[in-house]
Amino acid sequence: MKVEHLSTEVIKPCTSTPLSLRDYKISIVDELAPVMNVPVILYYPTDDIHSSGKENGTSISKCMHLKKSLSKVLTRFYPFAGRYMKDLYMVNCSDQGAEFVEAKVDIRLDELIGRGKDMKVELLNSLLPRPIGAGDEVTDPMLAVQVSVFACGGCAIGVLSSHRIADISTISTLIKEWATDAKLLLGAFDENDPVPVSPIWNSASLFPGKKMSGLPLGLIREKENIDNPKFATKKFYFSSSAIAKIRKKARLDNSSEKLPTRVQSLWGIIGKAIIDINVANPEKPRGFLIIQAVNMRERTDPPIPKNQCGNLYLISTVQSLAGEKGVEFQGLVDNLTRFVKRDVEVCKMLWTAGNGAQLISQGFNELIKCLTDPEMSCVNLFTDWSKSPFYEADFGWGKPVWVSSVNVPVINHVYLLRDKSGEGIEAWVNLKIDDMPKFEQDSNIMEFTT
């Protein structure tokens, strides 16, 4: 697959950001977020990219339509049109704009999606406009988009957003609102479509910044090496029936009718396989750490609303030792479940405890310490995107047929995305290139994935 860039331009908000909003202060969670861009790609099949509709009686191309609607949505999501001032721990929202790249691909969309497990995920990085690690410099856009048109006329919309101001909930809100504005421009909006919302950008007033450093994930600013990667990324599909079996297997007490959640059960299966690989060498330490992001929205008291933007998550950690034969599956799932429940309770106390900043930074500090701990065999980062409504993003020509991540060069990093039906889940697993064959041959992974 070859991708050729055709043009690059800057898209600015159609209405200037008021002077009172030009200096956007970031919260403590924003400060602690890793220096990276968060990638997501949405894929749309079509036979004619110039048939997206009529505006003022004139046929317009999809790219032009996307530019106009992006310009409109940026008026409400104005920090995405700014630039991060890392010395000041704030975003300068003076409408410098988002980056918009047009590209063409030399294969059909169905040729790419049809490769299934044999897909070389590293190739998907070429559908992104910038490197994942290129963030935090004053020249870096907070939002970059690449629209790649396939030989069949289908297209991929690759979105990169700075982790400095956005978690996955914020990104999915942006994409949903962008799609809503696009349908409004086409006159294709109907009564069943969601009404545009006003995003809230005051997270720094909830959790003031402390001028802290972000997570050191080791990402570089250069473009990811597609031809000779150090890390391998593969997607593993868990059907709804497989997930149901995993949940039953994960139950610690067979007499209990309550099953672990879908997500915690999958984390257990995947986490066990990764941990067992890392502790297989008897000369290596057996300590391990699992990190999960817990969304704070609607879990605090009073609740943080869904349309609150920025980074609003806690880091939930499970630290333990594996035995000579690895880690026990049911016990691992039980620990993952208990620790997330503990941190959900922490969410409720953030305002009343009086030490919200300390509670938030605790998990981040634990991760930073473990990343350099010689007694730690492996650190696993788990991120759940399966509840994000990416498959609802209809820009006026239908919903996406697929939503993907890419090759994120971070060891033992796993994303969960739901499939188009909403029943199955894709696990995007990033490992050292030598560890991937061992992971694929794990008995549980072989049994439950297709």
Q: Categorize the per-residue pLDDT at 249 as very low, low, confident or very high, splitting at 50, 70 and 90.
A: very high
- Residues 392-424 have pLDDT tens digits of 999 998 999 999 999 998 899 999 999 999 999
* pLDDT at position 354: 67
Structure token digits, residue 180: 């809503």
* pLDDT at position 371: 79
CA distances from 15 to 11, 188, 241 (A): 12, 23, 49
Task: Report the 10 Å Cβ neighbour count for 203.
Answer: 25
Report the range of poorest mean pLDDT among 54-58, 229-233, 336-340: 54-58
Q: What angle do CA 30, 31, 34 make, to 5 degrees?
A: 85
Structure token digits, residue 2: 């070859």
Q: Which of 40, 11, 364, 33 is nearest to 203 (CA)?
A: 33
Q: How far apart are CA 267 and CA 293, in angstroms?
A: 12
pLDDT of residue 162 exceeding 90? yes
* pLDDT at position 59: 39
- Residues 88-138 have pLDDT tens digits of 999 999 999 999 999 999 999 999 998 877 888 999 999 999 999 988 999
Does the active-site annotation cover 163? Answer: yes
Q: Which of 190, 200, 88, 100 is nearest to 141 (CA)?
A: 100
Q: How far apart are CA 215 and CA 395, in angstroms?
A: 34
Catalytic-role residue among 30, 163, 276, 384: 163
Q: How far apart are CA 325 and CA 330, in angstroms?
A: 14
* pLDDT at position 145: 98
Q: Categorize the per-residue pLDDT at 256 as very low, low, confident or very high, splitting at 50, 70 and 90.
A: low
* pLDDT at position 117: 74
Task: Report the 10 Å Cβ neighbour count for 171.
Answer: 23
Q: Categorize the per-residue pLDDT at 53 as very low, low, confident or very high, splitting at 50, 70 and 90.
A: very low
- Residues 195-246 have pLDDT tens digits of 777 899 999 998 999 999 888 888 888 877 666 678 899 999 999 999 999 9
Q: Which of 173, 160, 201, 212 is nearest to 36 (CA)?
A: 160
Q: Categorize the per-residue pLDDT at 377 as very low, low, confident or very high, splitting at 50, 70 and 90.
A: confident
Structure token digits, residue 408: 């994120």
* pLDDT at position 254: 67
pLDDT of residue 77 exceeding 60? yes
Q: What angle do CA 358, 361, 364 make, to 5 degrees?
A: 155
Q: How high does pLDDT run on average in the chain?
A: 89
Q: Which of 148, 150, 107 is nearest to 7 (CA)?
A: 148
Amino acid at 344: V
Catalytic-role residue among 193, 373, 394, 419: 394
pLDDT of residue 57 exceeding 60? no
Q: Categorize the per-residue pLDDT at 388 as very low, low, confident or very high, splitting at 50, 70 and 90.
A: very high
- Cis previous bond, 302, omega within 30: yes
DSSP string, 365-419: HHHHHHHT-TTEEEEEEEEE-TTS-GGG--SSS---SEEE------TTEEEEEE-
CATH number of 3-201: 3.30.559.10
How much is the pTM?
0.93
- Residue whose pair of structure tokens reads 């099953």 in the numeric block: 259
CB 62 within 8 A of CB 47: no
CATH number of 231-448: 3.30.559.10
Percent of the chain scoring above 70 in pLDDT:
94
Q: How far apart are CA 82 and CA 141, in angstroms?
A: 7
Percent of the chain scoring above 90 in pLDDT:
68
Average pLDDT over residues 24-43: 95
Does the active-site annotation cover 394? Answer: yes
pLDDT of residue 277 exceeding 90? yes
- Ranges of CATH 3.30.559.10 domains, the chain: 3-201, 231-448
Contacts of 276 by beta carbon, 8 Å cutoff, 6+ apart: 322, 325, 326, 327, 442
